[in-house]
Amino acid sequence: MVAPPDNDVLWARALHFTHNDGSPALSGVSLGVRQGEILAVGGPSGSGKTTLLRCLSGLVPAQRGEVWFNSTPVHTMGPLARERMRRDRFGWIDPVPALVPELNVWENTALPLMLRGTSRRRARTAAQEWLERLDVGELTRRRPHQLRQAERQRVCIARALAPAPTVLFADEPTAPLHRADRAHVLRTLTTAARSHGITVVLATHDAETAALADRTVPLLDGRCVRTVHLPPVQDTEGRAACSLSV
């Protein structure tokens, strides 16, 4: 087992994952994510983006291959150790907002901090700050069912950022937002990540979203593809320049 390069906070080698019904999702994906980097995982629907994020975060173990977080091999960890790592070091944003219905907005936002052992008072203060940054600071006492879908998603983003995770996994985080909201929320997310040194792995099929990242790894049918841009050619015969994905 060879340890990953020192400057990669997250590193995966030859990941394979097949779902229980036999659907292949990852077929030998290898990548490294540098400390503080915002990495977009691109690709069309069904290309394996969600599965890759789930394997990298230790939510599900890959059937073959290696995942390393800093110098720790995630692929050899048991379920409890992976759960603790996710609680203490990682954040997660789903495409569909999932909040605890019995808790109000600030309690939902403060929950990951309190699970890490932060006092209720400090967790509440941090939650309030992040809710304000995401323009939902006036909704703190409401329950999830009293919010619009877009507001619920902002709360989920505040909840993921509040503990300043080492790595934030964001799976199509702006999917439930209107186009007008999207840019603002994404900017808040990426600015917060950069100012707090949070590494972000962002799954998206949207080129505009991917453009906010430092780098994009495109997936296709569970494999990383490399985009090769050909040099511009003289368009003497009316042909357009093109790029190839290999």
Q: Which stretch binds ligand ATP (CB under 6 A): 48-56, 60-68, 177-185, 233-241?
A: 48-56
Integer Cα distance of 17 and 64 in angstroms: 7
Cβ closest to ligand ATP, residue 48 vs residue 163: 48
Q: Kindly state whether residue 21 participates in binding ligand ATP, applying the rule CB under 6 A.
A: yes
Least Cα distance to 164 among 89, 237, 107, 109 occurs for: 89
The single residue among 3, 7, 14, 23 that binds ligand ATP, judged by CB under 6 A, is 23
By CB under 6 A, residue 140 contacts ligand ATP = no
Tell which residue, 89, 79, 42, 45, has the closest CA to residue 59: 79
Candidates 4, 42, 43, 144; binder of ligand ATP (CB under 6 A) is: 43
Please give the backbone phi and psi of residue 64, each rounded to the nearest 5 degrees, phi first: -140, 155
DSSP class of 145: G
Asked if residues 75 and 152 have their Cβ atoms less than 8 Å apart, the reply is no
Residue of 15, 47, 85, 136 interacting with ligand ATP (CB under 6 A): 47
Element (H, E) at 55: helix 49-56
Candidates 4, 48, 91, 97; binder of ligand ATP (CB under 6 A) is: 48
245 near ligand ATP (CB under 6 A): no
**At its nearest, how many Å lie between ligand ATP and the CB of residue 217?**
12
Residue from 28, 7, 163, 13 nearest 73 by CA: 13
DSSP assigned state of 146: G
Residue 74 to residue 61: CA distance in whole angstroms? 8
Write down the least CB distance from residue 32 to ligand ATP, Å.
Answer: 20
String marking each residue 98-127 x if it binds ligand ATP according to CB under 6 A: ------------------------------
Residue 179-218 contact track with ligand ATP, rule CB under 6 A, x = bound? --------------------------x-------------
Residues 7 and 199: their CA atoms lie apart, in Å, by 12
In the complex, which residues of this chain contact ligand ATP (CB under 6 A)? 19, 21, 23, 25, 43, 45-51, 205
